[in-house]
Amino acid sequence: DAGVTQSPTHLIKTRGQQVTLRCSPKSGHDTVSWYQQALGQGPQFIFQYYEEEERQRGNFPDRFSGHQFPNYSSELNVNALLLGDSALYLCASSLGSGVEFFGPGTRLTVL
Amino acid sequence: DQQVKQNSPSLSVQEGRISILNCDYTNSMFDYFLWYKKYPAEGPTFLISISSIKDKNEDGRFTVFLNKSAKHLSLHIVPSQPGDSAVYFCAASAGNQFYFGTGTSLTVIP
């Protein structure tokens, strides 16, 4: 049973560019959440997708957007990258509002 | 505004002894609490959870205690093993959003 997978593992971008991160949820899960984890901090909730709709959103600007596909996989898009967007981006999946299972993350570096 | 706080960035414990990790929260609407363990280069792994209707939940060597009046929860690991060395995050939710603390790095010394 495959767990949560994310791609790519690492990514380097420059300021002003756009990035797309991808996530496949654990088998049987229908809900995907995205988190940003800065160095030395805990994961910060970006948003959650359920039934292809954004169900909940954290305190992140509109530059952060997402999408959920019919197969429950999800994308996180960040536009107009800033240096401060450098972080580990974690995807978590769950069945409804249950326990979230995390992927290994994508390390984004903005130069 | 940090709604979930872990005030001890690090903790060192001898193998075989008890590890106690603490977490405080400010939002009285939180009704579900979890602990995650994170190794370097991996995502957090779910460890144990507790609902606000309980004050204790046990799973093997791991026990979580919840004190709602103090808005405090703790994770006890007995006995501690070197493989328990990791960063531990507590998290809380009141619906669809989870709020995480900043983590406590546990080192279990053989």
Q: Which residues contact A71 (CB under 8 A, 6 or more apart)?
A: none
Q: What does DSSP say about strands A64-68 and A53-57: parallel, antiparallel, or unpaired?
A: unpaired
A43 contacts in chain B (CB < 8 Å):
44, 89, 100
Q: Between B75 and A99, whose confidence is greater?
A: B75
**Is the pLDDT score of A1 beyond 70?**
no
Looking at the partner chain, which of A42, A50, A90 has a beta carbon nearest the beta carbon of B43? A90
* Radius of gyration of chain B measured on its C-alpha atoms: 13
Per-residue pLDDT reduced to its tens digit, B7-56: 999 999 999 999 999 999 999 999 999 999 999 888 999 999 999 999 99
pLDDT at position A21, please?
A: 98
End-to-end CA separation in angstroms for chain A: 37
Per-residue pLDDT reduced to its tens digit, A17-57: 999 999 999 999 999 999 999 988 999 999 999 999 999 99
Res. A86 pLDDT band, cuts 50 70 90? very high
Share of chain A above pLDDT 90, in %: 91
Q: Give the pair of three-digit tokens for residue A54.
A: 């954004």
Instruction: Tell me if A42 and B4 make a contact (CB, 8 A cut-off).
Output: yes
The average confidence (pLDDT) of chain A is: 94
pLDDT at position B105, please?
A: 97
**Is the pLDDT score of A90 beyond 90?**
yes
Instruction: Tell me if A101 and B46 make a contact (CB, 8 A cut-off).
Output: yes
Instruction: Tell me if B98 and A99 make a contact (CB, 8 A cut-off).
Output: no
